[in-house]
């Protein structure tokens, strides 16, 4: 694409269309941009637009598109096409820092993110001057530029907070510190001085305080992995200034907004984080500064109001106290009973209250409320921090803290009982307090796993939780109902089974509650209860115990999807999936109605897939309906196909990328249920599955391979008969997969199915070419994974077509090739094969080579006979060799960059392991003994003499054991 006005104009039009709410306009525009993004100059056109376009909307849109383009394509992945040319890469790196610093803030943020994505891949090796280019801008004195640099540095360095330690990481951090630490410290001091100079200029202060916040964030990132020498030497400068900023209160920076945190709050929150980091990790060095920080943060907590804008500050300040109170050598600061009482009274209890802001979120922003409360993304909420502080204090002071809070809980419940309608928030706080006191350790899978002995959870359940669950009006006090449901959910491993069974029908009623939070918590609680394990690994709650409520459960779950706000509620869909899985055959009578509702829902969400988890559980539920119903009656598969195929066709025609991997898995499941023939509806689709565009998306490959395997298994002969012209296409797919290190095993799955199920004559003409392709790949890059797959394939070929055919095809490619493969690959590497079926295939194949291939007995290949037998006995008796050469790594499918929908495996579409040899060979060791016996009868005396001269004693002993077990002898 040329850098000219016509192309800029075209690009502008398409970018504008991508903002159109109408999918018929938006989708084609997105598709067009995707199709041209491999062209040279495409990124430079975007950068030109975001710099020069007159239309601000287009500038921002170009910036976002550019960032996403970089996110998808910058990383160079082995086997994948590199979509950004080297000249474009150089041009981007040469211009982007300048462009970012001169752009307005909205665009600056996008470009700053793009720089950090590029930096993640290229810095420091391929972009050595990035930091120096940034640091020189500190001297500019222009804080718009300085903040741009700080923002970019922050997005570049924040990964140091969660990277695993490695030499590479240390080297990079050292390089950054050498270049960056001193200028950052100088900038910090200069900015603080400027704050004093401009103390009465509100606009200047706003800019300076946003700089100080970014500097504080950078301090956190650069100190996270270890305490750098530079910061240890300059601790006095940093900590004295941090302390000064914590205690500073500039009236000009106070905001009237109750929701949005102001600059002062954001800066102080970050400083609390920095102090907590030092108190936790570098307590010895931080010791001299700790007491004054504890005092400053305590005063901050006692004097800060309840408004939402202070939430982050308060929660970080409480987290600081929590991290200090659980360190043994700060214990003395908290020992005094008065200190404990005052922390409980002034910090913990006030921050556990359910505020009107929480009530608003509960009613109007339920998704965010659920995410915070249920999924633990409430890291920065006051309640969560107060809860962590309770846990921290209980580490050393469990008795006194429990005693102090028991008094609070009782008085709150008494207040509630006086006037429930007015005082329900007291009960909410009491439940929250009990929960945080009682829970010592928690996991996603089991809820609370370790509880405080001093809290009687069962008694609290009977006296205070059940009453809310049994009240006839499910819509009264929804917050308390949600609390009660959550209590059952998190203490499920602590409560006795009879109480859980008592709760189940009550929970089923609450699925009808109007409150989104309430019915979502209910669905989640049921789903968690259904996954609990009882004795002997079965589910704790059995299908028989669920029998009286089955109909009500299924009805209410599907009805709750129709409640306002829950049309795509992932918790309800997960509960549907889990109910199907628990109830098994019990759902069969309801499936005809339910499948209609599920397919209708699928049709709706496929128009605009926006909730990946919901969609995943929806497909899982479809798979369960199919599996459970067809297990008892396989002929019902056709009625599922009638229901699902129209929707699947629409998804395929509209190329709904997110859904294709799922559709292919469900189709495989359906096709695998058929007895040995392929219905015509599937055959019509077969040519479309070979289209190259489908195979370009990584996420499609595993499910598509499985689907093609199902086609081959059920109708190899049909394909050979009515679609023989498609065989080259099928082999083309194999050729593409085999060339990729990430997907070569998938290529072998496909090839093995072709060998196993296609009529031999249909692929005769292609066989030699297949082997040549495999040898080319062996020469170009020989990985352990490839060799393992290659060994299984060669032996399967031998089992299927016989040892003579195998020897002949090798030797037809190149004389004596058969011996080379035995000597260089099969004998030394067979020990690496893993998996019972794979080992069995190799054992049977090698047995055939040893005993059914005349060339092994009377040519120069004879010298390989004993080493091959030795290798086979090793495969039977030695531990698997799982060593991988040092210089080799496999690219994981998961590691390919973002955007493409990665493959999401459906658990309930699982494929049974297939054994191509099946019952024909029960025990390969016996087969070896019988085959050797047969061979020795054909040429008496030869086999024993070969064994006695060169097989080692241990192997010989094992072989004698096989012969005895098979009751045969060698002659």
H/E stretch holding 450:
strand 447-451
**Short-list 520, 639, 514, 529, CA closest to 573:** 520
Q: What is the pLDDT of residue 677?
A: 85
Q: What is the pLDDT of residue 956?
A: 93
Using one digit for the tens of pLDDT, what is the confidence trace for 222-232?
999 999 999 99
CA-based radius of gyration for the chain: 34
> Rounded to whole angstroms, how far apart are CA atoms 547 and 544?
5
Band of the pLDDT at 378, cuts 50, 70, 90?
Answer: low
Long-range contacts from 499-502, C-beta under 8 angstroms, 24+ separation:
499/458, 499/461, 499/462, 500/529, 500/532, 500/540, 500/541, 501/541, 501/545, 502/466
**Alpha-helical regions (H) of 691-816:** 692-695, 701-722, 727-738, 744-757, 760-780, 784-801, 803-813
Q: What is the pLDDT of residue 441?
A: 64
Decide if pLDDT at 740 tops 80. Answer: yes
Q: What is the pLDDT of residue 899?
A: 30
Q: What is the pLDDT of residue 652?
A: 93
Q: DSSP letter string over 289-348?
A: GHHHHHHHHHHHHHH--S-GGGHHHHHHHHHHHHHHHTSGGGGGGG-SHHHHHHHIIIII
Note whether 965 and 929 are within 8 A (CB). yes
* Crossing angle (nearest 10°) for helices 924-938 and 942-950: 120
Q: What is the pLDDT of residue 901?
A: 40
Using one digit for the tens of pLDDT, what is the confidence trace for 415-466?
999 999 999 999 999 999 998 888 776 667 666 667 777 788 899 999 999 9
pLDDT more than 70, % of the chain? 96
> Rounded to whole angstroms, how far apart are CA atoms 425 and 254?
30
> Rounded to whole angstroms, how far apart are CA atoms 138 and 129?
15
Using one digit for the tens of pLDDT, what is the confidence trace for 398-419?
899 999 999 999 999 999 999 9
Q: What is the mean pLDDT of residues 634-663?
A: 94
- Total length of the chain: 971
Decide if pLDDT at 817 tops 80. Answer: yes
> What are the two backbone dihedrals, phi and then psi, of residue 539, each rounded to the nearest 5 degrees?
-70, 150
Mean per-residue pLDDT of the chain: 92
- Name the token pair of 629: 């119903």
Using one digit for the tens of pLDDT, what is the confidence trace for 317-339?
999 999 899 888 788 888 889 99
Q: What is the mean pLDDT of residues 238-259?
A: 89
> Rounded to whole angstroms, how far apart are CA atoms 680 and 682?
5
- Residues near 51 by Cβ (< 8 Å), separated by ≥ 6? 59, 99, 103
Note whether 936 and 943 are within 8 A (CB). yes
H/E stretch holding 818:
helix 817-821
Using one digit for the tens of pLDDT, what is the confidence trace for 475-530?
999 999 999 999 999 999 999 999 999 999 999 999 999 999 999 999 999 999 99
Q: How many CB atoms lie within 10 A of CB 785?
A: 16
The alpha carbon torsion through 627, 632, 633, 636 (nearest 10 deg) reads -30
> Rounded to whole angstroms, how far apart are CA atoms 387 and 383?
6
Decide if pLDDT at 895 tops 70. Answer: no
- Name the token pair of 231: 């910061």
Q: What is the mean pLDDT of residues 896-922?
A: 72
> Rounded to whole angstroms, how far apart are CA atoms 325 and 288?
17
* Crossing angle (nearest 10°) for helices 550-560 and 497-510: 40
In SS3 terms, 563-613 reads as CCCCCCCHHHHHHHHHHHHHHHHHHHHHHHHHHHHHHHHHHHHHCCCCCHH
Note whether 324 and 333 are within 8 A (CB). yes
Band of the pLDDT at 379, cuts 50, 70, 90?
Answer: low
DSSP state, residue 439: E
Decide if pLDDT at 927 tops 80. Answer: yes
- Name the token pair of 291: 């007491």
Q: What is the pLDDT of residue 893?
A: 30
Note whether 608 and 656 are within 8 A (CB). no
Q: What is the pLDDT of residue 894?
A: 31
Q: What is the pLDDT of residue 904?
A: 80
Band of the pLDDT at 882, cuts 50, 70, 90?
Answer: confident
pLDDT greater at residue 782 or residue 184 = 184
DSSP state, residue 859: S
User: Quick check: helix, strand or coil at residue 440?
Assistant: strand
> What are the two backbone dihedrals, phi and then psi, of residue 440, each rounded to the nearest 5 degrees?
-100, -40
Residue entry with tokens 């949005």: 260
- Residues near 256 by Cβ (< 8 Å), separated by ≥ 6? none
**Short-list 659, 655, 633, 658, CA closest to 644:** 659
Q: What is the mean pLDDT of residues 358-385?
A: 85
Domain range annotation of the chain? 542-675
Using one digit for the tens of pLDDT, what is the confidence trace for 96-139?
999 999 999 899 999 999 999 999 899 989 999 999 999 999 98
* Residue 452 region by backbone torsions, left for phi larger than 0, else alpha for psi between -120 and 50, else beta: beta
Q: What is the pLDDT of residue 333?
A: 86
Band of the pLDDT at 887, cuts 50, 70, 90?
Answer: very low
Band of the pLDDT at 903, cuts 50, 70, 90?
Answer: low
Q: What is the mean pLDDT of residues 617-628?
A: 96
**Short-list 931, 936, 807, CA closest to 861:** 807
Sign of CA dihedral 36, 40, 45, 51: positive
Q: DSSP letter string over 199-220?
A: TT-HHHHHHHHHHHHHHHHHHH
- Residues near 407 by Cβ (< 8 Å), separated by ≥ 6? none
Q: What is the pLDDT of residue 737?
A: 95
């Amino acid at each position: 694409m040329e850098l000219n006005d016509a192309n800029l104009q075209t690009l502008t039009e398409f970018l504008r269309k991508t903002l159109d709410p109408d999918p018929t306009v938006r989708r084609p525009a997105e598709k067009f941009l995707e199709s041209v993004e491999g062209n040279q100059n495409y990124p430079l056109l975007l950068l030109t637009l975001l710099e020069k376009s007159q239309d601000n909307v287009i500038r921002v849109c170009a910036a976002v598109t550019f960032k996403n383009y970089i996110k998808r394509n910058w990383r160079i992945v082995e086997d994948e096409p590199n979509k950004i040319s080297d000249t474009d890469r150089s041009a981007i790196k040469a211009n982007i820092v300048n462009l970012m610093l001169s752009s307005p803030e909205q665009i600056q943020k996008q470009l700053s993110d793009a720089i950090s994505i590029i930096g993640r891949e290229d810095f420091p090796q391929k972009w050595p001057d990035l930091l120096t280019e940034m640091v020189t801008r500190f001297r500019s004195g222009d804080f718009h530029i300085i903040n741009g640099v700080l923002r970019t540095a922050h997005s570049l360095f924040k990964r140091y907070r969660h990277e695993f330690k490695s030499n590479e990481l240390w080297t990079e951090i050292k390089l950054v510190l050498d270049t960056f630490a001193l200028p950052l410290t100088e900038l910090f001091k200069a900015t603080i001085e400027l704050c004093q100079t401009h103390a009465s200029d509100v606009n200047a202060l706003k800019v300076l305080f946003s700089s100080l916040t970014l500097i504080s964030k950078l301090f956190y990132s650069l100190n996270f992995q270890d305490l750098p020498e530079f910061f240890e030497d300059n601790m006095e400068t940093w900590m004295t200034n941090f302390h000064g900023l914590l205690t500073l209160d500039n009236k000009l920076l106070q905001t009237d907004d109750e929701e949005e945190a102001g600059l002062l709050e954001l800066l102080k929150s970050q400083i609390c984080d920095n102090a907590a980091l030092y108190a936790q990790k570098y307590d010895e060095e931080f010791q001299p500064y700790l007491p004054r920080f504890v005092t400053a943060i305590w005063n901050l907590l006692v004097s800060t109001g309840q408004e939402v804008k202070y939430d982050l500050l308060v929660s970080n300040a409480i987290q600081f106290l929590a991290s200090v109170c659980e360190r043994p050598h700060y214990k003395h600061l908290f020992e005094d009973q008065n200190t404990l009482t005052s922390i409980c009274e002034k910090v913990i209890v006030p921050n556990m209250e359910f505020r009107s802001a929480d009530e608003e979120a509960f009613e109007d922003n339920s998704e965010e409320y659920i995410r915070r409360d249920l999924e633990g993304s409430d890291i920065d909420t006051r309640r969560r921090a107060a809860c962590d502080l309770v846990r921290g204090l209980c580490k050393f002071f469990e008795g006194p803290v429990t005693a102090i809070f028991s008094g609070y809980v009782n008085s709150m419940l008494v207040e509630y009982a006086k006037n429930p309608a007015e005082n329900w928030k007291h009960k909410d706080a009491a439940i929250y307090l009990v929960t945080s006191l009682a829970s010592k350790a928690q996991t996603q899978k089991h809820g609370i796993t370790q509880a405080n002995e001093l809290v009687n959870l069962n008694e609290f359940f009977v006296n205070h939780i059940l009453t809310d669950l049994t009240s006839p009006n499910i819509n009264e006090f929804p917050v308390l109902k949600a609390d009660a449901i959550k209590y059952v959910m998190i203490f499920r491993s602590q409560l006795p089974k009879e109480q859980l069974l008592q709760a189940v029908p009550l929970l089923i009623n609450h699925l009808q509650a109007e409150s989104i939070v309430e019915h979502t918590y209910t669905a989640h609680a049921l789903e968690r209860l259904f996954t609990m394990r009882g004795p002997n690994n079965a589910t704790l709650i059995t299908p028989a115990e669920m029998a009286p409520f089955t109909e009500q459960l299924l009805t209410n779950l599907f009805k709750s999807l129709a409640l306002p706000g829950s049309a795509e509620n992932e918790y309800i869909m997960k509960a549907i999936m889990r109910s199907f899985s628990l109830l098994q055959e019990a759902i069969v009578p309801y499936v005809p109605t339910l499948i209609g509702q599920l397919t209708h829902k699928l049709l709706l969400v496929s128009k605009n897939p926006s909730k990946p988890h919901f969609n995943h559980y929806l497909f899982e539920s479809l798979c369960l309906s199919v599996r459970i119903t067809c297990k008892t009656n396989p002929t019902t598969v056709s009625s599922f196909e009638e229901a699902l195929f129209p929707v699947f066709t629409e998804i395929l025609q509209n190329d709904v990328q997110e859904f294709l991997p799922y559709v292919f898995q469900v189709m495989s499941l359906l096709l695998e249920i058929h007895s040995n023939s392929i219905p015509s509806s599937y055959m019509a689709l077969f040519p479309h599955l070979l289209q190259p565009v489908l195979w370009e998306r990584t996420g499609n490959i595993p499910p598509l391979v499985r689907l093609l395997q199902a086609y081959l298994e059920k109708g190899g002969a049909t394909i050979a008969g009515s679609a023989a012209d498609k065989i080259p296409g099928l082999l083309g797919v194999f050729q593409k997969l085999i060339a990729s290190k990430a997907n070569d095993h998938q290529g072998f799955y496909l090839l093995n199915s072709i060998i196993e199920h296609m009529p031999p004559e249909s692929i005769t003409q292609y066989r030699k070419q297949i082997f040549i392709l495999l040898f080319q790949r062996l020469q170009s890059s020989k990985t352990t994974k490839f060799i393992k797959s290659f060994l299984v394939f060669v032996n399967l070929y031998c089992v299927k077509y016989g040892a003579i055919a195998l020897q002949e095809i090798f030797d037809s490619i190149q004389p004596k090739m058969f011996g080379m493969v035995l000597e260089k690959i099969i004998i030394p590497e067979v020990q690496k094969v893993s998996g019972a079926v794979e080992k069995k295939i190799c054992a049977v194949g090698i047995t055939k080579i040893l005993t059914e291939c005349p060339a092994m007995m009377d040519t120069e290949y004879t010298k390989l006979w004993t080493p091959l037998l030795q290798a086979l006995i090793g495969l039977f008796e030695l531990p698997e060799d799982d060593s991988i050469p040092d210089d080799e790594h496999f690219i994981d499918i998961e590691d390919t960059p973002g955007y493409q929908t990665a493959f999401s495996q459906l658990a309930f579409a699982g494929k049974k392991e297939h054994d191509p040899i099946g019952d024909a060979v029960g025990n390969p060791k016996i087969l070896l003994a019988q085959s050797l016996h047969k061979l020795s009868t054909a040429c008496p005396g030869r086999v024993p003499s070969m064994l006695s001269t060169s097989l080692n004693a241990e192997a010989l002993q094992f072989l004698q054991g096989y012969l005895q077990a098979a009751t045969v002898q060698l002659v």
